[in-house]
Amino acid sequence: MSFLGLDVGGSKCRYEWWPRGCAPGGDAATAQPAVQGIDAAVAALDDAITAAAASHQRPDAVVCAVAGSGDAALAAEMAAALEARLALPVAVVGDVVAAAAAGLREGAGLALWSGTGSFAVARGPAGDLARVGGRGYGFCDEGSGYDLVRRAIVGVLRAIDGRGRATSLTDALTQAFDAPSAARLGAVAQQLSPREVAARLPVVLDAFERDDWLAADVLMAGMRQLVELGEAALRRADLEAAEGLRVALGGGVLRSDTCREGLVRLMQAAWGHPVDARRVEPGAAALGAAWLASGWQAGEQPQRRWVEDVAL
């Protein structure tokens, strides 16, 4: 038997198989129900699953972890549509569940995720999950790629209006967004998707390496807010930030050494001890979704409970 998992984010879709290594994974077109609508997202997922099966075999079950599908009714509607198309068991869960499956399969701990968006999820001693953050890029994605670039743009606009210090990011971000002037930077950026804004994060990281004060402030504030997300998730899961706590760090932002190492230093300063932080490799969330599919079909815990608790 083999099981397929899809990790469907704001910018890409990755699929993997379980048992681990039974077939190669791959990339497919992403599916965003909040942007494309449910019908188009279901069609894109159908195409991704069909393409993956063509390179290996028909899966015995599929779990699709889709950003923005944490609502139980939406997830059930998408799953039913996919099952009707594919004639096989399909579950749709939020990307938070796949992150937990990627970083917390082995036991209690904390996963901090920062990509286009951000969130924290903790696994308690009994296997229950507690999620914090990731409630929408305009309001609750602190420390995400979008949020970091947005904060940098705010700093630039304050500087050109005489309300803040000069910064090298004025020219760098104006060029990166192809804005006609720094004064038009905000107007240009707000016409773009969160993914397109977050894609300019390397500009902020480059400025940090050149000792730009605004880049340093933005990154420090963002990483501090990720620590706060993690601490809130731990409280909700009845866990303490004790020495030896398993911490998984995932998402595109935390693949940056600058961001990841800064985050770990802040956690160690806040918690007063070394932190056992491990990087979640690209593709791990898709593999986690495939692991979920396997346990869900077999009625194993915690997979079955996690799949059914899609409203995280």
pLDDT by residue (tens digit) across 76-100?
999 999 999 999 999 999 888 999 9
Sketch the domain layout of the chain as residue ranges.
Answer: 3-100+283-308
User: Would you place residue 34 in the very low, low, confident or very high pLDDT band (cuts 50, 70, 90)?
Assistant: low
Q: Burial of 56 by CB count in 10 Å (0-12 exposed, 13-18 middle, 19+ buried)?
A: middle
Q: Indicate the pairing of strand 129-132 with strand 246-250.
A: unpaired
**With pLDDT > 70 as the criterion, what percentage of the chain qualifies?**
98
- Beta-strand runs (E) in the chain: 3-8, 13-18, 26-28, 62-66, 90-94, 109-114, 118-123, 129-132, 246-250, 276-279
Whole-Å CA distances, 291 to 149, 158, 206, 309? 34, 47, 37, 16
260-280 average pLDDT score:
96
CATH topology of domain 3-100+283-308: Nucleotidyltransferase; domain 5 (3.30.420)
Instruction: Look at residue 213 and tell me whether its pLDDT is greater than 90.
Output: yes
Average pLDDT, the chain: 92
